[in-house]
Each structure stands twice: as C-alpha cells, then as structure tokens.
Amino acid sequence: MNNKVEYILCAAYKFKEGYRTPKMEEIKAKDGTMIEEIYREPHREVFRMALGWRHADIIYKYGDCIDQDDLGGFMTSKGRYVDRKEAAEIAYNAGQTEEKKSFLYSEDIY
C-alpha cells in the first residue's frame, strides 16, 4: 500500500474526557515526561482512542470509559481519529472499498 495515501487502520472510539488507561500512567520518558507528550499533534491523538477490529468489540471491552455518543469512528494510517463520514471517503480514495459510501462501518473494510 502507498504510504503517502492515508487509509483506515481500525475502528475507534474516543475515550471520555479525562480518562487515562493504567498503562498511560506508567509509561514515561527518561526525563519523566509522559510518553504521550513526546508525540506532536495529530499523532498524540492515538492516546485518546480505544481501538479494535469492530466497534462492538471496543464497546464490550471499554464500556463506560468511551464516548458512545459520537457513534464511533476510525483511526487512520496517520494516527488521526475520523468520523464515519470522513472514514468512508478515505477508505474509498485508498481503494479499501469498491463503492463510495455515505458512512463507513467496520464490516466494510474487513
């Protein structure tokens, strides 16, 4: 796959505001900086997402820790969180779907 073309990696939900996984508290750089602070935007965004193959898997695993009000989205190859509408366009442009869709579902790319 062309690395310059952004494509959809997996299903994602944003964590609720202020939620941090236990691992996030443990991972620090040698100077004590939190590991997520080392990354620049938008790459830092990956630390604010719960990821999985399907949206239902993420809901089952994280439940109340994620923001289910936004109906979920996707993580792209560039580490960005995108909603289902933008994801449909990205997937189509990257050749992951054969037809252009209004909204992308995880079943459309696997």
Pick the more confident residue, 30 or 97.
97
Q: How many helices (H) and strands (E) does the chain have?
A: 4, 4
Cβ atoms of 72 and 8 closer than 8 Å: no
- Supply 107's token pair: 């079943």
pLDDT digit string, tens, across residues 27-76: 566 666 665 555 556 555 666 788 899 999 999 988 888 888 888 999 99
Stated pTM of the model: 0.77
pLDDT digit string, tens, across residues 7-36: 999 999 988 876 666 565 565 666 666 655
Report the distance separating Cα 10 and Cα 53, nearest Å. 6
**Looking at residue 95, what DSSP letter applies?**
T
Report the distance separating Cα 19 and Cα 107, nearest Å. 28
